[in-house]
A and B are shown apart, each in its own frame.
Chain A
Amino acid sequence: MSAVNEVITAEGVSQRPRFFGSSGENVLLLHGQYGARQCEALARQLGGQARVCLPTHPGYDDLDRPEWLERIPDLAHYYFSLLEEMNWERVHVIGHDIGGWIAAEMAVRQCKVFNRMSLISPFGLHVEGSAPQDFFLLNDERFAQESVYQPDMAKRVFEGLGDDEALTVIRNREMTAKLGWQPRLHDWQLAKWLHRARVPAQVIWGENDAIQPVGVMAGWLDRLPDAAGVTIPACGHLPQIEQCDVLVKEVQQFANYQ
């Protein structure tokens, strides 16, 4: 097993993924466009009953963009290599936002690395009538407000990104644009092959998601061969901030930790 804060190098990218918990099944937690920081509380709570690895996507937060990184499937291939470096063979993958999209791209290519998959407000599919909001036209403040349902939660959206918080926000948004400007955060190829993701899955959505509407959930449930949907009331695009306890309970129930 990897030690905490060990440097892991895969595809030319070196990073120290954060680990939470020391026993139970292996969980790979893939963060969204907001950066790894926004998944820490979730990782910590899940770490009570699992071994959770929270890596940072190349190109996000303090990691430079490697030359090879241009599309979401590039990150899917990167994470296969990262899992190999860690000798993790079968994991419960959890992905939020673009992290959910990465997980789905992996599941389509090689579903045997996963024993189950939890997708939280994932990007990756287009459903007619449920297009994501054009948040690239929003300033940081509005983007934070739109990301949550409860207004007082907005200040936490970009919280704790480090000394260079403003720069990290700019970098992360640029990376998200690089990966998903057009087609806008989805891939027709994924929609075409999602039925190949033969792994038990849950798709979790905040009922009041104003970034990626809950209407997209039906697209996932239609295509995934073995999936159940969960909606969380009074919750926007960041359940791990707004409704972390409910989210953790749903994930643990799905994984039969209890």
Chain B
Amino acid sequence: MDFFNFHLMPYRHVDLDAVEKNGSAWVTFSNAHYDPALGARLYHEYLDQMEYADQMGFDGVCLNEHHQTAYGLMPTPGVLAGALARAVKRGRLAILGRALPLLNNPLSVAEEFALLDNLTEGRFIAGFVRGIGAEYHAMGLNPTESQERFMEAHDLIMQAWTRPGPFAFVGKHYEFNYVNPWPRPYQDPHPPVWVPSQGSSSTIEWASRNRYTYCQTLSPIDVVAKFFSMYRESAQRFGYEASASQLAWSNCIYVAETDEKAVQQAKPHLEALMTKLLKMPIEMLLPPGYTNLEAMQRIKKTRAVSFNNKPQTIDDFIRMGVVIIGSPATVAEKLAEYEEKAGFGTVLTKTQFGTMPHQMAMENIAAIASEVIPKFK
């Protein structure tokens, strides 16, 4: 199994009461709450964590992209990938973003990713996402165009990487007389493409058709298993057997000496992530047209009914297999059980989450690297 250290780079000093009062850490939560002195320090802490994970034996590091939120401070992941490209010496480097529909010029992603692939001499992984609904509020992009902009941007980037330039590209949203990016990707024909999603059936089918690695965002393990089965079944319909390496599970792992200590230590930080930083009104999460009508109707109904039943404590998240928290033995045992159940070949693990301080994250990285990863090699 491959282990990636996946960072959201949260603004961990955020005033959680202010987030609570605003109803969300996204879009409308004022950036007056951001202190540049603290924030600048955070970037260095987080990059140190990524470099440390690489040194300690993680197989790679992952960045992602979110806009105008205290949940994650990575509006432009390429900048941070640039900072890591020379410091992460052995592991792979993944950006899961970019959110293609949000861009008015996807050719710049073809360029940026190709550049990173050269800088890392072929250790780069290219992620393509639509971006969650909140980004469409944050960036002013029409959510009803999300799907078609994503597809068109994807086609443009893949052509830019695989067809000798220059050539013209005329789409509905993007048009270029000359597609001819320098540099070309280092990997031949192009960097591996990974596609994170919350479990959209059309995305799963599309990813399996293109043999792209499908990454499931934070979800209970039963749901993860269901989506991964869908991927494998879809792959069969396209005439091949999907391998475990095409399936990646995004989770949080925290290791301490004993189960009790681990839960006690992780609790405030995990709950800050799950119940404060991730929280947003449904209108923000799902703007009109972002998802299809039937799904929208279903979600509106069920959200109204089950909102109060949503898991809220660390025990719920552990029990449902959204996260793995405990002693080294417990974590290894659970991970093996979930691997057996869902059949993934990669974990994208948040070793720092929510408000977790730097030293604690560093110790967690060390513990996972020395006591869990070797059992899966």
Q: How far is the CB of B235 from chain A (nearest CB, A)?
A: 32
Nearest CB in chain A: distance from B367 CB, A? 42
Shortest Cβ gap from A84 to chain B (Å)? 29
Q: Which residues of A contact B293 (CB under 8 A)?
A: 167, 170-171, 174
The verdict on B140 contacting chain A, using a C-beta distance below 8 Å, is yes
Known A-B contacts A171-B293, A181-B143, A182-B142; A138 and B300 likewise in contact (beta carbons under 8 Å) = no
Answer whether A136 and B140 are a contact pair too, CB < 8 Å, given A170-B297, A171-B293, A178-B289. no
Q: How far is the CA of A139 from the CA of B288 in the complex (A)?
A: 11
**Quick one: CB contact mask for A107-139 with B, threshold 8 Å, 1 for yes?**
000000000000000000000000000101111
Contact of A177 with B by CB under 8 A? yes
Q: Which of B62-109 contact A (CB under 8 A)?
A: none
Question: Which among B38-46, B178-186, B276-284 touches the partner chain?
Answer: B276-284
- With beta carbons under 8 angstroms apart, the residue of A138, A166, A174, A182 that contacts B289 is A174
**Complex Cα gap A174–B146 (Å):** 13
Can you name the residue of chain B whose Cβ is closest to the Cβ of A171?
Answer: B293
Chain A residues with CB under 8 A of B300: 166, 170
- Is B130 on the interface with A (CB-CB < 8 A)? no
Instruction: Tell me the residues in window 203-244 of chain B with beta carbons closer than 8 Å to chain A beta carbons.
Output: none
How far is A177 from B293 in the complex, measured between Cα atoms in Å? Answer: 13
> Out of A138, A166, A178, which one reaches B144, CB within 8 Å?
A178
Which residues of B approach A to under 8 Å, CB–CB? 27-28, 136-137, 140-145, 281-284, 287-289, 293, 296-297, 300-301
Q: Please name the 3 residue pairs, one residue from A and one from B, whose CB atoms are nearest each other, closest first.
A: A177-B288, A181-B142, A174-B288
Q: How many A-B residue pairs have CB under 8 A?
A: 54
B-chain residues with CB within 8 Å of residue A44 when the two chains form the complex: none
Report the count of interface residues on A (CB-CB < 8 A).
Answer: 16
The minimal Cβ–Cβ distance linking B139 to chain A, given in whole angstroms, is 9
A-B contact pairs, 17 of them (CB 8 A): A136-B283, A166-B300, A167-B297, A170-B300, A171-B293, A173-B288, A174-B296, A177-B287, A177-B288, A178-B144, A178-B145, A178-B288, A181-B136, A181-B143, A181-B144, A182-B140, A182-B142
Distance, CA A171 to CA B137, complexed state (A): 19
Residue of A nearest to B28 (CB): A137
Q: In the bound complex, what is the Cα–Cα distance between A138 and B288 (angstroms)?
A: 11
State how many angstroms separate the Cβ of A165 from the closest Cβ of chain B: 11
Select which of A167, A170, A171, A178 is within 8 A of B142 by beta carbon. A178
Q: Which residues of B contact A178 (CB under 8 A)?
A: 142, 144-145, 288-289
Q: Which residues of B contact A38 (CB under 8 A)?
A: none
Distance from A186 Cβ to chain B, minimum over Cβ atoms (Å)? 13
Partner of B141, one of A139, A173, A174, A182: A182
Q: Do the beta carbons of B283 and A137 come within 8 Å of each other?
A: yes
Contact partners of A138 in chain B: CB under 8 A: 283
Complexed CA–CA distance, A11 and B237 (Å): 39
In the complex, given contacts A167-B293, A167-B297, A181-B140, what are 6 additional A-B residue pairs having Cβ atoms less than 8 angstroms apart?
A137-B137, A173-B288, A177-B142, A177-B288, A178-B289, A181-B141
Cβ of B292 to closest chain A Cβ, rounded Å: 10
A139, A166, A167, A177: the one contacting B281 at CB < 8 Å is: A139
Cβ of B141: which chain A residues have Cβ within 8 Å of it? 181-182
Q: Which residue of B lies closest to A184 (CB)?
A: B140
A26 within 8 A of B: no
- State how many angstroms separate the Cβ of B107 from the closest Cβ of chain A: 21
Q: How far is the CB of A163 from chain B (nearest CB, A)?
A: 13
A176 at the interface (CB under 8 A from B): yes
Contacting pair B287 A136 (CB below 8 A): yes
| Segment 160-190 of A: residues with Cβ below 8 Å from B | 166-167, 170-171, 173-174, 176-178, 181-182
Residues on the A chain within 8 Å of B284, using CB: 137
**Chain A nearest CB, measured from B102 CB (Å):** 12
Q: How far is the CA of A177 from the CA of B286 in the complex (A)?
A: 12
Contact of B283 (CB < 8 Å), options: A139, A166, A174: A139
Q: B29 to chain A: closest CB distance in Å?
A: 13
Closest to A164 in B: B297
Quick check: A170 and B296 within 8 Å, CB to CB?
yes
